[in-house]
Amino acid sequence: MALFRQPLPRKLLARALSGLLILSIAISGVVVRAQEIEHPGYEVAPERRTTGIGKFYMGREISFVMGHQAAEWLNRPGRIQEEMPDEVVANMGLDPDHVVADIGAGSGYFSFRIARLVPEGKVLAVDIQPEMLQLIKAQMAEDGVSNIEGVLGQVDDPNLPPGSIDAAIMVDAYHEFSHPFEMINGIFQALRPGGRIFLLEYRGEDASVPIRPLHKMTEEQVVREMSVFGLEWTDTLNFLPWQHMMIFTKT
């Protein structure tokens, strides 16, 4: 007991402090390492399937990107029955002030519907094709919509600031991201804690869905790819004729 009451000799004090410093560096080192996410890697195959780019991620061949020349196809009337976009956005559980990123927004088919649900918030419409963002801008002017912001992304970066969004949605887009790991990493960093990812893809396990194989994904494959980031698989909504609406949460 007497030892604690006496002032510590300087040398001993210095040694104790440096020990503490080393310990805290070691501990923070462990924390930093634990937060680092290991890249599963990409594989390149000499031969590719018809609509693939010959690059594989976790066993899945990535599809080519749909060019802006086909943007009109995204607005086809039949899509209302096929993809029920209003029901999709109604099922996102958004608050009026939420900030939502629509990644691979295309012509904004979902961005405009989401914008109506977040009048005090906004939609960040991210796409790598400037022509798509131009289409969205023109439609905003025509409809008098002001709470959508176009964001020009890169193939490996959604260009969203960290901790800036409450939700991200990807509709018929993720399967064509040439750098899915980097994209989800960027989205993961941009999500606030508790933020959600809505991932909609045509059901790969259902042969009756009339879409080419590389433009579909199985639920199992999506879960495998999202698990890399420790995202919690919260739910899969199965009310859509052809797609899964999968929900993941950043815990």
Ligand X SMILES: C[S@@+](CC[C@H](N)C(=O)[O-])C[C@H]1O[C@@H](n2cnc3c(N)ncnc32)[C@H](O)[C@@H]1O
* From candidates 112, 177, 181, 188, binder to ligand X by CB under 6 A: 177
CB atoms within 10 A of CB 243: 25
Using the contact rule CB under 6 A, the part of the chain among 43-51, 91-99, 115-123, 168-176 near ligand X is 168-176
What is the secondary structure of 216-229 as a DSSP string?
EE-HHHHHHHHHTT
Calpha distance 241→65 (Å, rounded): 24
- Nearer CB in complex with ligand X: 129/221: 129
Helix (H) or strand (E) holding 243: strand 243-249
Tokens describing residue 94: 């958004």
- Nearer CB in complex with ligand X: 118/171: 171
Contact 24, 18 (CB under 8 A): no
Calpha distance 48→63 (Å, rounded): 10
- The length of the chain is 251
- Nearer CB in complex with ligand X: 54/232: 54
* From candidates 66, 184, 217, 228, binder to ligand X by CB under 6 A: 66
Min separation Cβ 51 and ligand X, Å: 12
CB atoms within 10 A of CB 7: 7
* From candidates 133, 183, 222, 226, binder to ligand X by CB under 6 A: 183
Min separation Cβ 222 and ligand X, Å: 16
89 binds ligand X (CB under 6 A): no
Residue numbers at the binding site for ligand X (CB under 6 A): 65-66, 74, 103-106, 109-110, 126-129, 132, 153, 155, 171-173, 176-177, 183
